[in-house]
Amino acid sequence: MHRRVITFSKNAFLPLTTVCQNRCGYCCFRTPVEEGCVMPPDEAILTLEASAALGCTEALFTFGERPGAVPGFTEMLGRFGYADILDYVYDLSLAAIERGLLPHTNAGILTYEELGWLREVNASMGLMLETTADIPAHGNSPGKDPAVRIEMIENAGRLSIPFTTGILLGIGETADDREESLRVIADLHRRYGHIQEVIVQNFCPKPGTAMEGAAVPGPDEIAAAISLAREILPPDVAVQIPPNLADASRLIRCGVNDLGGVSPLTIDYVNPEHPWPQIDELRRIAGDAELRERLCIYPQYIEKGWYSSLLEPLIRRLAERIAAPGRDAGA
């Protein structure tokens, strides 16, 4: 019998700005326009270089959605010579590639044209669906309209972009909503074949947010959602859990086959109170399964050639590196 495989990616987490047009009731990532709300280019480059030196293969670029819609942000970004955050992430993606890291961008809602443009410098991209339900926590967040998010995920499929999405548990949705969300994702993948992984993420209350006192999903509830995801999603779609947010060693038995991106250098800026587990801890979580490092673009999409010519040499080189015989996971 084949030994079960659990995968993960070694990444650098770069939050390019904390300014966001959305006002989600559970978010502590968003800040107003203020000093320090944009990561300076020199800091980003240093992070990329240090992460590459530690063996990382992925540069995860995350930032608030449409920060340019927030008054004052464009002037703040202009200090670094950019008029639009997407131009900034494009240039930093080039810088990541030059340093041996594959870019993966989570930018919130993007148009078809923007997705196509960023595809040239990104090995994969992502957007959490979160839920198909209309919930109070998203009342002041235009980018969290389920129809808008589904359209973007569909556009990524039309453009053959290897894509990450997921659901967020405990933000006001019901069990039926979770099932509907997973079925929508499964349907999109059957039509376009581009969903490489689905994150099942539990909500963690943050002090100072509107939902700081909200009830959190318990272990059994999270386990049930993971099992439902594995049941509904096609077998070639990985089910991922963030190993820093719950008892991953218990949940992994419910059908999880990926532990996402973890960083030996940068923190989880969205959940800063929850440190990333390091490689030895990931091995403990994996138990008797084989822990195997992967790239941010999954092997089936490398085989299909779902990447730009600019990225091909680096993808091939990194794929050979992590597949080297005798290479220990995370070495």
- Cα distance between residue 255 and residue 229, in whole Å: 8
Is residue 194 within 8 A of residue 162, CB to CB? The reply is: yes
255 CB-contact burial (10 Å; exposed 0-12 / middle 13-18 / buried 19+): middle
Is 56 annotated to bind a ligand? Reply is: no
DSSP string, 53-101: HTT--EEEEEE-SSGGGSTTHHHHHHTTT-SSHHHHHHHHHHHHHHTT-
Is 28 annotated to bind a ligand? Reply is: no
Backbone φ, ψ for residue 154 (5° rounding): -65, -40
Is 24 annotated to bind a ligand? Reply is: yes
Question: What DSSP designation does 310 have?
Answer: T
Q: How far is CA 185 from the centre of its chain?
A: 15
User: Which of 233, 222, 295, 227 has its CA nearest to residue 260?
Assistant: 295
- Greatest alpha-carbon pair distance for the chain in Å reads 60
Is residue 66 within 8 A of residue 108, CB to CB? The reply is: yes
- Cα distance between residue 157 and residue 301, in whole Å: 12
Backbone φ, ψ for residue 39 (5° rounding): -70, 120
H helix or E strand, kind and range, residue 105: strand 102-106
H helix or E strand, kind and range, residue 45: helix 41-53
Annotated binding-site residues for [4Fe-4S] cluster read: 20, 24, 27
Annotated binding-site residues read: 20, 24, 27
